[in-house]
DNA sequence: TCGAGATAGATGCATTTGCATATACCTTAG
DNA sequence: CTAAGGTATATGCAAATGCATCTATCTCGA
């Protein structure tokens, strides 16, 4: 019976490995010709927002440095997928949202991608396990989100 | 009650979010001055191998493209942390292992890093949850590892 | 034994990333 | 109202990354 710190590290290592394996599998799916996985991450995050969000807010949800994200948004704006407008209430900030094209692209890429995710996860887990994994991961994410404020 | 595919995607999204949040937190820990997180990933993976392994084998466990990994190994060899020798049994391949310095560096970086991981995970989860998360993630990783052979 | 095809790893090159820092704008004490 | 300090995003630049491809070596059937 492993000690608590050991167990904690084993769990984290397992999560890392699972993440890496799944990323590989999903990267191999033939759906990333129009937008890359990282770009999709941005499009998907924006697609979930009912209204425009700040770059900083987007940055909190996407694992990229602020400058890298800023430039990725440049490219997506250039390609007509994302709209970037100055925030009227705070002239420093920008407000980001999907264009109609961007939303369409997100759906076009997202549909087969979601199928791939579902295929991988449902062949591995039953409903109870899926729920357990989802809840554990949400708990971890929320705990970290709360911690970073402090 | 969500459908099965929906549940599968929610679980994956939660895993991704948890991963991203933890990575941010761990990246913020003040232990990455000597080796970066990705370099540590390589050193750690090698440290777990009882004997030298191939670049391709290492590549299977580290989420980097083959060329990127090849060059990262270049740099680690240059810095004296990794040994790279031609495989006597197969002249195309190389065998990688940690040098004494590399092993020491892995420990030096790994100790405080592991503490950070333990801090984050144990403040979030009890033992039962840690075990559940570990086992679920291992199951997913193993399922994917088995799938990629096919 | 030889040559076609397969495999392991390295390299050229354009793109992307992160770090440090600059710029623009906001906030607030005085 | 202003200047000092803070916050949001952008930019310069070196380093790292991925894709395509190359080289070297291995395998195997004729």
**A11 within some domain:** no
- For B47, the token pair is 């440290």
Q: Does B27 touch chain A (CB under 8 A)?
A: no
The predicted-structure confidence for A57-102, as pLDDT tens digits, reads as follows: 999 999 999 999 999 999 999 999 999 999 999 999 999 999 999 9
Which residues in chain A have Cβ-Cβ distances shorter than 8 Å to B59? none
Q: Distances from the Cα of B66 to the Cαs of A20, A39, B73, in angstroms?
A: 14, 22, 11
In CATH, what number is assigned to the domain containing residue B65? 1.10.10.10
Which nucleotide has the shortest C1'-to-CA distance from A63?
C17
- For A148, the token pair is 């970073």
pLDDT of residue B144: 85
Q: How far is B113 from chain A (nearest CA, A)?
A: 10
The owner of tokens 């579902």 is A118
The owner of tokens 């937190």 is B25
**B78 within some domain:** yes
**A3 within some domain:** no
Q: What is the mean predicted confidence (pLDDT) over B27-52?
A: 97
- Mean residue pLDDT across chain B: 96
Which nucleotide has the shortest C1'-to-CA distance from B77?
C10
pLDDT of residue A150: 55
Count of CB contacts below 8 A, A vs B?
A: 193
Q: Does A27 touch chain B (CB under 8 A)?
A: no
Q: Is the CB of B70 under 7 A from strand C?
A: yes
Q: Is the CB of A71 under 7 A from strand C?
A: yes
Pairing of strands A82-86, A94-98: antiparallel
**A14 within some domain:** no
Using a pLDDT cut of 90, give the percent of chain A over it: 93
Classify residue B75 as left (phi > 0), alpha (psi -120 to 50) or beta.
alpha
Q: Which residue has the closest alpha carbon to C12 C1'?
A: B67
Domain with A99, as residue range(s), is 33-149
The terminus-to-terminus CA distance of chain A in angstroms comes to 34
Which nucleotide has the shortest C1'-to-CA distance from A57?
D8
Which residues in chain B have Cβ-Cβ distances shorter than 8 Å to A140? 18, 21-22, 121, 124-125, 133
**Could you tell me if B19 and B43 lie in one domain?**
no
Tell me how far apart the alpha carbons of residues A42 and A99 are, in angstroms, rounded to a whole number: 13
**Could you tell me if B61 and B85 lie in one domain?**
yes
Given a contact cutoff of 8 angstroms between Cβ atoms, the answer to whether A39 and A72 are in contact is yes
**Could you tell me if B98 and B57 lie in one domain?**
yes
Tell me how far apart the alpha carbons of residues B119 and B102 are, in angstroms, rounded to a whole number: 26
**Could you tell me if B18 and B37 lie in one domain?**
no
Distance A65 CA to C15 C1' (A): 16
| Mutation site for B-interface testing, chosen from A62, A118, A122, A150 by largest number of B Cβ within 10 Å | A118
**Could you tell me if B40 and B113 lie in one domain?**
yes
Which is higher by pLDDT, B124 or A150?
B124
**A40 within some domain:** yes
Number of domains in chain B: 2
Tell me how far apart the alpha carbons of residues A75 and A39 are, in angstroms, rounded to a whole number: 10
pLDDT of residue B8: 98
**Could you tell me if B48 and B81 lie in one domain?**
yes
**B138 within some domain:** no
**Could you tell me if B20 and B45 lie in one domain?**
no
**Could you tell me if B61 and B95 lie in one domain?**
yes
Strand ranges inside A19-104, DSSP E:
53-54, 82-86, 94-98
Name the closest residue on chain A to residue B7, using Cα atoms.
Answer: A130
Tell me how far apart the alpha carbons of residues A97 and A89 are, in angstroms, rounded to a whole number: 16
What order do you get walking across the sheet with B94-98 strand by strand? B53-54, B94-98, B82-86
Res A145 pLDDT > 80: yes
Question: Is A139 within 8 Å of B147 when comparing Cβ atoms?
Answer: no
The predicted-structure confidence for B73-107, as pLDDT tens digits, reads as follows: 999 999 999 999 999 999 999 999 999 999 999 99
* Model ipTM value: 0.94
Strand ranges inside chain B, DSSP E:
53-54, 82-86, 94-98
Q: At what angle do helices A127-149 and B4-28 cross, to 10 degrees?
A: 30
């Amino acid at each position: 019976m492993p000690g608590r710190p050991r167990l904690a590290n084993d769990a984290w290592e397992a999560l890392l490995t699972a993440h890496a394996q799944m990323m590989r599998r999903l990267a191999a799916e033939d759906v990333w010709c129009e937008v890359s996985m990282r770009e999709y991450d941005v499009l998907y995050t924006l697609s979930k927002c009912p209204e425009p969000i700040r770059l900083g807010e987007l940055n909190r949800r996407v694992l990229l440095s602020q400058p890298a994200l800023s430039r990725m948004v440049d490219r997506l704006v250039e390609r007509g997928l994302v709209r970037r407008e100055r925030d009227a209430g705070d002239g420093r900030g920008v407000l980001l949202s999907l264009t109609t094209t961007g939303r369409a692209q997100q759906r076009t890429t997202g549909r087969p991608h979601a199928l791939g995710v579902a295929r991988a996860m449902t062949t591995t887990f039953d409903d109870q396990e899926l729920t357990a994994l989802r809840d554990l991961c949400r708990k971890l994410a929320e705990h970290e989100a709360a911690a970073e404020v402090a």
